[in-house]
Amino acid sequence: MNRKRITLALVVALVHLSPQAARAEDWPERHVNPKPLPDDLLLPMPCGGAMAFRPVPVPADGLLGDRRLTLGGADDRFAFAEGSRQAHLAGSFGGGEGSRLFYLGKYEVTSDQYRALTEPDCPKPSNLGRLPKTALAWSEAVEFAVRYTEWLHAHAPEALPSEDGAKPFLRLPTEAEWEYAARGGATVGEAEFLAERFPMPEGIQNYVWFGSPGSSDFKLQPAGLLKPNPAGLHDMLGNAAEFVLDPYSLAKGSRLHGQAGGVTVKGGDYLTPEDAIRSAHREEMNPFDETGRRRVDSVGFRLLLSAPVLSSPARLEAIRSESAALPRGPALAPGERLDDPLAEIDALIAAAEEGAFRERLQGLKSVVQANIITRNEQRDRAVRNLLRFGAILGKRIDDVLRIVEGRRAAAAALQKSGAAAETIAAVERQIATDEAALAETLGAYRDTVAEVAQDYPAAVVDRQLPVLRDELKARHLAQLVPFADRFRNHLSDFQKTGGLDEEGLLKSFR
């Protein structure tokens, strides 16, 4: 009997010391996801806790498709740190045809969430525990991601999204991932993405805790109290500044300088003045000081759910196949010429005997290949923009047709009822104005179809259409998707017949 009591006491002690094994009552929603959205991903945590993540779409075609971003800002005062520069981004998870995505923490990691994985006793959820976890070292944030990943793999693997059968893992976001999400990602237009801050229609004070008595009052605030950015993410700017994965580098012209330094911190914090709040905000933090690992009261973090790139042998073969299809020239017979500049360079390399000359040609080929890939990316963006414009014109045609038909029905009803001639004439004048606008829009639509059909191969259009669908859905413009598909059908009709009959075109909208 004594042995049984000792064994039970040991079990109780082990559970008490291991939050991974403990189970408390589920935390209230306000401590986990105070502003829920339908597509949130909730991952469980020890002690009855959970962490909310948002899917961040990155529309692109294929496994090697990625999205070119312009990061940084145009303010000359911060050019050394935040100069405008190019980056490329793709998501870790498949998000349907024409898209990939990653999952980013919806809120900054809170004090209670941090304690649930790092302390022997389960924390009791509290308002104080809703504050973002700050005053920790960058390496401790990384270690927290490791601990949480190991706990999920051991206790809740079924809660994790799958990517080609590979186990996903948690980490800090890269700077490109963080800034893309902070600006709104695919949910905003290009002009809004490049703006100093994401759209804040109800005023900055409703979206950002900044350094002011009327905002943060120079104190850290509980996570998730204010409105989210267009991607559904809270406190990306202000409140706690956030660690990212990349080391800090200066900005040099249109790229980052080659010297890697300390830790990169993004977003500003509760001490940052209102006029300094911006998506490009980045600072260097030395990860060590005279006491050891450095910790700052205003710096916290959020996590990103990621997956391996080469997740399976089948994925590796698919990537190899896509890579082989990238611009590069085939071997040529002696004296043979091709229009492909890469093929011509390959022929010169094959014929060259001197090693130094071959190396120069290889370097030239790399430059030309990079330029061709950049040109193709520009072409793809142009195709998506033209498809979007066609969809907008198509929606306009549909709207005006409905208006014209409604007014015609009203005019007929007025005539039947014996209304005054002046009233009927006013309606008919409005019908004439609407019909003129319809004819003008139809002309622009037909011109756009003709230009796209003649300038871009069908294969290019078909690769970009799914990407556009995903962009439109991300920007809450799903009503344009059927019109984009209809525009593609009209492209096919034009390519088959060499023209579009106006009457047939109108019928397709009715």
- For the chain, give the percent of residues with pLDDT over 70: 91
How far is it, in rounded angstroms, from Cα 181 to Cα 108? 13
How far is it, in rounded angstroms, from Cα 152 to Cα 102? 18
Q: Which pLDDT belongs to residue 374?
A: 79
The SS3 assignment for 32 reads: coil
Q: Are strands 241-247 and 263-266 parallel, antiparallel or unpaired?
A: antiparallel
Give the torsion through C-alpha atoms of 236, 241, 246, 251, to 10 deg: 90
Which DSSP helix (H) or strand (E) runs through 89?
strand 85-89
How far is it, in rounded angstroms, from Cα 188 to Cα 89? 16
pLDDT at 439 over 70: yes
Out of 20-24, 373-377, 429-433, 449-453, pick the least confident: 20-24
481-497 and 355-417 helices, crossing angle to 10°: 110
190-218 pLDDT per residue, tens: 889 989 999 999 999 999 999 999 999 99
Q: Which pLDDT belongs to residue 4?
A: 37
pLDDT at 7 over 70: no
Residue 441 φ then ψ, to 5°: -65, -40
**Quick one: pLDDT band at residue 74, thresholds 50, 70, 90?**
confident
For range 65-83, the mean pLDDT: 90
Select from 230, 247, 237 the least CA-distant residue to 279.
Answer: 237
Say if CB 42 and CB 32 are below 8 A apart: yes
Q: Which pLDDT belongs to residue 99?
A: 81
How far is it, in rounded angstroms, from Cα 227 to Cα 237? 11
- What is the reported pTM? 0.75
**Complete domains list, the chain, with CATH:** 25-306 (3.90.1580.10), 313-370 (no CATH), 375-509 (no CATH)
Q: Which pLDDT belongs to residue 361?
A: 73
Q: Which pLDDT belongs to residue 19?
A: 45
> When comparing pLDDT for 468 and 345, which is higher?
468
Tokens encoding 230: 């267009």
The SS3 assignment for 174 reads: coil
SS (H, E, C) 228-282: CCCCCCCCCCECCEEEEEEECCCEECCEECCCCCCEEEECCCCCCCHHHCCCCCE
Say if CB 107 and CB 129 are below 8 A apart: no
